[in-house]
Structure formats: structure tokens, C-alpha cells
Amino acid sequence: MDPRFKIAHREALIGIVLVVINFAMWYGFAYGLGQGDPTDYTYVFGFPAWFFYSCIAGTIFMVALIWMVMKFFFTEVSLEVEDDDECTGK
Amino acid sequence: MHWQVILPLLLFLVIIFGIGIWTNMRVRQSDSFLSDYFLGGREMGGFLLAMTMMATYGSASSFIGGPGVAYNTGLGWVLLAMAQLPAGYFVLMILGKKFAIISRKYEAITLIDFLKARYQSNAIVLLSAVAIIIFLFAAMTAQWVGGARLIESLTGLNYRGALIIFAVAVLVYVIIGGFAAVALTDALQGTVMVIGTIVLLVAVVIEGGGVSAIFADLVAEDPNFISPYGVDGNLTPLYVSTFWILIGIGVIGLPQIAVRAMSYKDAKGMHRAILIGTIGIATVMFGMHLIGVFGRAVMPGIEIGDKVMPTLTLEILPPIVAGIVLAAPMAAIMSTVNALLILVSSTVVKDVYLNFIKPNAPDAEIKRMSFIVTTVVGIAVVLFALNPPEFLIWVNLFAFGGLESAFLWSVVLGLYWKKANKYGAFASMATGLVLYIYIDRFHQHVFGMHTVTIPVVASLLIFIVVSLATQKYTKHQQVF
């Protein structure tokens, strides 16, 4: 197998992990804190707490996480077709 | 007529046209017309890639339809809209470098090229072409209508007049420029979308007297406006979660997005695009939908949902600034329409005409065909848009669901699963399409989930079962 594919496979797995984290935060904060009577909500910076944590803080956290992943876990490889025959086996 | 608003908009259009004409001169001199016209010659860097992804994805639904629904539903709709965040990073990470490397090796220019080279099946090519043409036609109609509604509320022209002005403007520059023009103008349009969103959000918060005051007003009208369940309580956790499939992770299956994942220059560009694209999509989706909710406190009583965003902009901002902010939805709509238009015409010319009808067509003929098909498709959409559907956003989401049901697994499994074969792919695509259209027509929201859920799950199962059962027929085939 093309050694670049190994890198690509690992990066795709990272993508899945990120999306799971993303979903868990978004869902957990929204429905964890958002249940009950809206008149009893607590507020953070003027926003209802569920909304602040799920949609604002959660999004900022994801952006920071993606920045870190890009910097430390993604590898730069050439995308061009390589002429030696290692990839097709034909 | 609001001339002070229209002038900045016209200026914006002139710049966009300029870019179209300039890239056209370059494309005409090029010796690889097909790849340049439809893919921009795989030259995109990080910023361009991020912006073209975002501009293609962010459409009339994000700027016109979405804020309208948020206005009537409340904060729950912003929550739902934030399910779109993965669209910024997930597609590029999952299709990733493998897709870029393989599409170079196959010399694939369209998504269908990739499927054809991977599965070696004409049946799959035809089925894909039919799915793309039908659903993208629907998606384009939605954008055309959105553009016309926007011009309608700006100029006071009637709907048909507005539609024709809009259509002519978009068609001229897509036809002359091709993908290179589309991607370049997307960079400008994406930037305008982000800036416009921020300006309008800040203005709405100031107009409403601050975030706390706005929430107090909303609670006074109906406390459920700030609940995640929506004002009627019909945004259940299950329904909203299944929306993740449609507008978050399933976006991989959208051909107009996937084609961009094979068009970038190098790995570095891809890394930058993931970060920039995520920030851009987050800003636009969060900002625009929150504007819709806040708009309810700032300007109650707007009756037509699609008019919430233009009305707010015109009333709150000084005219010149309003013109600049309204260039954002204009940009969103134009950039989506042109991407779809290019995709449909590349499907007809490259995947159907060159594949089945005339494989050895000379270059001059391909050029002529490309221009003719793009024009004809564009005009046909205008005819469909003459009688607009009631709710813009649903037409667009219908098209999303249809494409994802067809393409999600054939692309992802084709890329990552060695045993995926043409029988599995074809069965999966056919199942996805038929189930999706059937459920959408007759049983919306089965078990409280979004329509797309069952077709996506069923087409995955069928894909795996059929591929495994037919291994012996495709054993000799070498993949990658």
C-alpha cells in the first residue's frame, strides 16, 4: 500500500474522533442544561447557559482543537502521482 | 428603489464580472481546457479552498431562509444550525489526502470520474448523472428563487422581473468563466459573507439594547423562544440530532462539495483550509441564525420568513452599509448557483457526452458543448423558478438529502473499503435514492427522525451485504 495512505487513514480517524467530541459537547450542553422551564434559566454573558456552552463556548473549543490537531497531528505529504510502481502493483 | 443600497451592490457585481472575464481569458489560452474550466487546474491554496467550500455550502438557505425560520422558531433553530459546523472540517478530513491522491492518479475531474474509475461500471455513471441532474436542479431552483426574492425586496420590482435580472447576471459570468472564475469569486464572496454577518449581528445587538435586553424581550413574548426545543416544542433531541446526518457529516456525499476536495494544490493548503473554513462556517451559521432570533425582539411582526434578513438590514443599517451587508446573501446565492451550474454542465458534458456519446470529441467541440450546456441548464432553471415553491429552505434540504442518500457510501466506502464493489455500490445508491424519495413523499419524519436517516442507514447495510455476497465476481479487479 502507498505509505501516504497510512497517514491519510490516520487523519480520517482523527476526523471521526473530532466529530464525536463536537456532537457530544453540542448535545450534552444543549439538552443537559436546556431542560426545564425557560423562565428558570441561568445566563452567562447575557446568553442562556445551555446556549452559551453548547453553541458559543463549544464552537470556540472546537476551533482551538482543530488548530491543535492541524499543527501537531496532520502530516504534509505530496499529493502528486508517484512514478515508481509501489502504489498500483500492476 | 433604494439607490444608496443598490449602488454598493452594483459595484460588487461589477468586480465579480471583472474576475469572470479575466479568468476566461486565461482559460481560453490554456491547453487543458476541461480540467481548467471544471476544476481550475487543481491550483487552489488554503484560503481559496476554504472560501470556495464555505461559499458553495452557505447558500440562500443560510442567509434568507434560515434566519426566517429562526425568527419564527427561536434559539432552538440556532442550535440546529450549529450542526453544520463539521461541514468545515469533516469533509476535508475524511475524504482527505487519499481522495486527493487517488483523484490525481485517476485524473478525475468530477466526482463521477472517481466513481467510474473506482467501480468500472457504466450503470453507476448513469445513475449518478441522473441523481446529480435531478437534485441539483432542485437545489438551483431554490437559489434562483432566493436571489429573486432578495432583489424583489430591494428594488420593489415584481418577482419575475427580479428573477430575470438575477439570472442574467449569474449566467453571464458563470458561462464565460467556468470553475476558475467560480473559485476566485468565491474567495471574494466568502469574505463578504463573513464580514456582512458580523456587521449585521453587531448592529442588531446594538439596536436591541444589548444581549440581555433582547433575551428579556423574547422571554416576555414567549419563554419557549429561548428553549432548545423550539417555540412549539417540536425540535426534539432525536430530530435535531438526525439533522447532523443531513447538514453535518453527510455533506461528504454532496458532489459540489466533494469535487472541491480534489481540487486543492497541496497538503499545506488543505490544512489551512480546514481551520479557515471551520471558522468561516461557524461565524456565518451562528451569526445569521442568531440574527434571525434577535430580529424578533428588534422588529416584531415580519410576516414572510424569507424577508426577515433583508428587512432587518434595510431598517437598521445606514443605506451604504446595508448595500454592503446585502451583498453577503447575494454572494452566498451566486456562489452556490454557479458551483451547481458548473457541476451539472460538467456532468452532462464530461460524464454523459464524452463517456457514452462521443468519446473522441475534439477540443473545440468540448468547449462549445460546455458553453451551450451551461447556458441551456441555466435558462431551464429560470423557467422552473418562475413559479416559486413556498419554503425555500426545504427545497434545498430536499436536494441535500437526495444527493447524500445516493453518494455518501459509494464515495466513502469506495475510498476506504477494499471489498466495496460495483454491485454493492449500485444497489446502495439505488436503495438510497428510492427510499429517500419514497419517505420524503409519503412518510416524513418516520419515528421522529429526519427523512434522510433511514435511507442513509439502509444504503450502508445494502452496500456491505451486496459487496460481500458478490466478491467472487470482482476478485480480479485491482483497486488503487
Q: Is residue B442 part of a domain?
A: no
Given a cut of 90, whether residue B139 has pLDDT beyond it is no
Total domains present in chain A:
1
pTM (global) more than 0.80:
yes
Of A11, A41, A59, the CB nearest to B93: A11
Distance CA B452, CA B401 (A): 6
Widest distance between CA atoms in chain A: 68
pLDDT of residue B179: 61
Contacts of A9 in chain B (CB under 8 A): 98, 416
The three cell numbers locating residue A12: 480520517
Cβ–Cβ below 8 Å for B241 and A59: no
Q: Is residue B433 part of a domain?
A: no
- Domain range for A57 is 23-74
Whether chain A has a CB inside 8 Å of the CB on B104: the answer is: yes
The alpha carbon of residue B385 and the mean position of all alpha carbons in its chain are separated, in whole angstroms, by 18
DSSP bridge partners of A44: A47
Given a cut of 70, whether residue B149 has pLDDT beyond it is yes
Distance CA B220, CA B300 (A): 12
Whether chain A has a CB inside 8 Å of the CB on B129: the answer is: no
Of B101, B249, B416, the CB nearest to A79: B101
For position B203, which CATH number holds?
Answer: 1.20.1730.10
pLDDT of residue B478: 63
The alpha carbon of residue B237 and the mean position of all alpha carbons in its chain are separated, in whole angstroms, by 25
pLDDT of residue B380: 86
Of A19, A78, A89, the CB nearest to B249: A19
Contacts of A62 in chain B (CB under 8 A): 85, 278, 282
Average pLDDT over residues B46-68: 84
Which DSSP symbol is given to A38? G
Given a cut of 60, whether residue B339 has pLDDT beyond it is yes
Burial of B222: CB neighbours in 10 Å, binned 0-12, 13-18, 19+: middle
User: Closest approach of chain A CAs to the CA of B114, in angstroms?
Assistant: 15
DSSP bridge partners of B264: B44
Q: How confident is the model at residue B465 (pLDDT cuts 50, 70, 90)?
A: very high
pLDDT of residue B476: 62
Task: Please tell me which residue, A84 or B407, carries the higher pLDDT value.
Answer: B407
- Residue B471: other Cβ atoms inside 10 A: 12
% of chain B exceeding 70 in pLDDT: 91
pLDDT of residue B369: 85
B26-39 confidence digits (pLDDT tens): 766 666 666 666 66
- Domain range for B141 is 3-399
Contacts of B101 in chain A (CB under 8 A): 2, 4-5, 8, 79, 81
User: Closest approach of chain A CAs to the CA of B186, in angstroms?
Assistant: 22
pLDDT of residue B35: 64
Give B92's contacts (C-beta < 8 A, 6+ positions apart): B53, B261, B270, B273, B274, B277
Cβ–Cβ below 8 Å for A46 and B212: yes
pLDDT of residue B389: 63
Given a cut of 80, whether residue B172 has pLDDT beyond it is no
Average pLDDT over residues B164-186: 74
Per mean pLDDT, which range of B108-122, B261-275, B281-295, B464-478 is the poorest? B464-478
Nearest chain B residue (CA) to A59: B282
**Alpha carbon of B348 to those of A46, A85, B134: distances in Å?**
52, 34, 12
Q: Is residue A10 part of a domain?
A: no
Distance CA B111, CA B225 (A): 42
Nearest chain A residue (CA) to B273: A70
Task: Please tell me which residue, B448 or B368, carries the higher pLDDT value.
Answer: B368
Q: Is residue B434 part of a domain?
A: no
Task: Please tell me which residue, B278 or B183, carries the higher pLDDT value.
Answer: B278
Q: How confident is the model at residue A89 (pLDDT cuts 50, 70, 90)?
A: very low
Contacts of A49 in chain B (CB under 8 A): none
Total domains present in chain B:
1
- Residue B310: other Cβ atoms inside 10 A: 24
Per mean pLDDT, which range of B74-78, B83-87, B366-370 is the poorest? B366-370
Average pLDDT over residues B126-144: 87
Cβ–Cβ below 8 Å for B278 and A81: no
Whether chain A has a CB inside 8 Å of the CB on B210: the answer is: yes
pLDDT of residue A85: 45
Q: Is residue B99 part of a domain?
A: yes
pLDDT of residue A90: 35
Cβ–Cβ below 8 Å for A79 and B96: no
Nearest chain A residue (CA) to B243: A23
Whether chain A has a CB inside 8 Å of the CB on B201: the answer is: no
Of A22, A55, A88, the CB nearest to B286: A55
Average pLDDT over residues B247-262: 87
B226-235 confidence digits (pLDDT tens): 999 998 888 8
B299-326 confidence digits (pLDDT tens): 998 888 888 898 899 899 998 888 888 8
Q: Is residue A54 part of a domain?
A: yes
Task: Please tell me which residue, A89 or B379, carries the higher pLDDT value.
Answer: B379
Mean pLDDT of chain B: 86
Per mean pLDDT, which range of A17-21, B7-11, B169-173, B466-470 is the poorest? B169-173
Cβ–Cβ below 8 Å for A79 and B105: no
Given a cut of 50, whether residue A86 has pLDDT beyond it is no
Q: Is residue A51 part of a domain?
A: yes
Cβ–Cβ below 8 Å for B478 and A70: no
Contact B201, B211 (CB under 8 A): no
Contacts of A41 in chain B (CB under 8 A): 226
pLDDT of residue B354: 85
pLDDT of residue A88: 44
Cβ–Cβ below 8 Å for A47 and B215: yes
Whether chain A has a CB inside 8 Å of the CB on B418: the answer is: no
Residue in B113, B38, B17 with CA at minimum distance from that of residue B341: B38
B179-226 confidence digits (pLDDT tens): 666 667 778 888 888 999 999 999 999 999 999 999 999 999 999 999
What proportions of chain B, in percent to the nearest 5, are helix, strand and coil? 85, 0, 15
Q: Is residue B204 part of a domain?
A: yes
A16-70 confidence digits (pLDDT tens): 999 999 999 999 999 999 988 888 899 999 999 999 999 999 999 999 999 999 9
Distance CA B409, CA B428 (A): 8
Q: Where are the alpha helices (DSSP H) in A1-90?
A: 3-33, 49-51, 58-72
pLDDT of residue A48: 95
- Provide ipTM, 2 decimals: 0.90
Q: How confident is the model at residue B265 (pLDDT cuts 50, 70, 90)?
A: confident
Whether chain A has a CB inside 8 Å of the CB on B82: the answer is: yes
Distance CA A59, CA B286 (A): 9
Contacts of B105 in chain A (CB under 8 A): 81, 87
The backbone torsions φ and ψ at residue B390, rounded to the nearest 5 degrees and listed phi first, read -65, -50
Cβ–Cβ below 8 Å for A9 and B241: no
Average pLDDT over residues B348-368: 84
Sign of the CA dihedral running A73, A74, A77, A80: positive
Of B86, B219, B278, the CB nearest to A39: B219
Q: Is residue B191 part of a domain?
A: yes
Whether chain A has a CB inside 8 Å of the CB on B224: the answer is: yes
Q: Is residue B385 part of a domain?
A: yes
Beta strands in A1-90 (DSSP E): 43-44, 47-48
